[in-house]
Amino acid sequence: MREDHAVLAIDLTGKRAWVAGVADERGFGFAIAKALAAAGATVSIATWPPLLKLLQLRLARGRLDEALALPGGTQLAFAQIQPLDAAYDCLADVPAEVRDHRRYRDLGDFTIAGLAAAVAASGGVDLVVHSLANGPEARCPLLGTSRAGYLAAVSVSAYSHVSLVRQLGPHMRPGGSFVALSYLAAARAIPGYGGGMSSAKAALESDARVLAYEAGRRWGHRVNAISAGPYASRGAEAIGPIDQMIAHTSRMSPLPRAITAEQVAMAAAFLSSGLASGITGTVMYVDHGYAAMGAPPREAVP
Ligand code: NAD
């Protein structure tokens, strides 16, 4: 073997990344931001306005210092933190009561157009991660979901990705990548994941394929999705009994334990990197194999 053989590593040195949907250290977005930074990328985040002040306060008080620690003794410092309400494509779409709300009124352009302007002003982007979702009626079964609730879930959780690709695509440099976070409810019935959230994830995955085609042909960018196993983020806890879901999937999976945010983050870093230059339009499962099973493991059958 040659002494000077190269190590095959994820190298994102010189890449500019934006992760949309980071408000605390517990979610997938934060773990992905860390993984991208650990691979050498400069990372900026976009945060939902109602949680922005709290995040900034916690950062300023050093409450996240431990969570921001990177391998090798360095610490992740976000290049920019942009307010983003992904329900809106441009300021003209924002109702007056939202624009005048105390949590929004001093933030400038907090829409997806505002994020695109920030990206353009900072010289462009290479990697974009969509790690956000919301459904006002997510705790309601689909049969009990209103039209408004359903459309709000699809708007924030799925159309927002179309809008991101559409508005950030022109500012993405060659070899760029979009990754969105999905869930098995896109393809299977998951009791309790309601309010149109399952419909939104199905749309997100279908859109990843169509966007891969359209953004690939137009700009040469890649678009992929990760279908992550259940994980106790703040967002997941707001939807329902996430611990029960984690226990159930752990018991039923080929690798019988809970997934970690780091596992999802490593997959996102891989998909974002040149190592995945041939991969676009896919949904990659990071779920310890749960989705591959067609019947319970034998020891789980009484
Ligand atoms: P999270 O709560 O950390 O992340 C969701 C983020 O979305 C939050 O930061 C929230 O502030 C943001 N958000 C909500 N509404 C928004 C809006 N209108 N505009 C901008 N941002 C908004 O939770 P998470 O579980 O890490 O979720 C990240 C992604 O992973 C989501 O797409 C989620 O559906 C997906 N996912 C989660 C799980 C899980 O079990 N946790 C499993 C599979 C997929």
List pLDDT tens digits, range 123-159: 999 999 999 999 999 999 999 999 999 999 999 999 9
**Ligand 1 geometric centre to CA of 294 (Å):** 28
Q: Active-site residues: which are they?
A: 183, 193
What mean pLDDT is reported for the chain?
A: 96
Query: Cβ–Cβ contacts within 10 Å for residue 10, how many?
Result: 18
* DSSP secondary structure, 159-210, as one string: IHHHHHHHHHGGGEEEEEEEEEEE-GGGTS--TT-TTTHHHHHHHHHHHHHH
pLDDT over 90 percentage in the chain: 93
Q: Is the CB of 234 under 6 A from ligand 1?
A: yes
Which pLDDT does position 213 carry in this prediction? Answer: 98
Q: Is the CB of 94 under 6 A from ligand 1?
A: no
Band of residue 199 on the pLDDT scale cut at 50, 70, 90: very high
Q: For the segment 14-23, what is each residue's pLDDT rounded down to a tens digit?
A: 999 999 999 9
Instruction: Provide the CATH number for the domain formed by 16-288 in this structure.
Output: 3.40.50.720
Q: Is the pLDDT of residue 34 over 80?
A: yes
Closest CA to 83 of 132, 116, 125, 48: 48
In ligand 1, the atom with minimum distance to the C-alpha of 183 is 43
**Ligand 1 geometric centre to CA of 192 (Å):** 16
Q: Is the CB of 235 under 6 A from ligand 1?
A: yes
**Ligand 1 geometric centre to CA of 234 (Å):** 8
Which pLDDT does position 225 carry in this prediction? Answer: 99
Which pLDDT does position 194 carry in this prediction? Answer: 95
Which pLDDT does position 3 carry in this prediction? Answer: 55
**Does the global pTM surpass 0.85?**
yes
Q: Is the CB of 179 under 6 A from ligand 1?
A: no
Which pLDDT does position 224 carry in this prediction? Answer: 99
Cα→Cα distances 93→13, 101, 127, 156, Å: 37, 15, 26, 14
Q: What is the DSSP letter of 79?
A: S
Which pLDDT does position 238 carry in this prediction? Answer: 85
The mean pLDDT of 177-198, rounded to a whole number, is: 97
Which pLDDT does position 298 carry in this prediction? Answer: 86
In ligand 1, the atom with minimum distance to the C-alpha of 197 is 34
Q: Is the pLDDT of residue 2 over 60?
A: no
Band of residue 279 on the pLDDT scale cut at 50, 70, 90: very high
In ligand 1, the atom with minimum distance to the C-alpha of 201 is 34
Q: Is the CB of 89 under 6 A from ligand 1?
A: no
Q: For the segment 222-252, what is each residue's pLDDT rounded down to a tens digit?
A: 999 999 999 999 999 888 789 999 999 999 9
82 phi and psi, to 5 degrees? Answer: -110, 130
Which pLDDT does position 1 carry in this prediction? Answer: 46
Band of residue 255 on the pLDDT scale cut at 50, 70, 90: very high
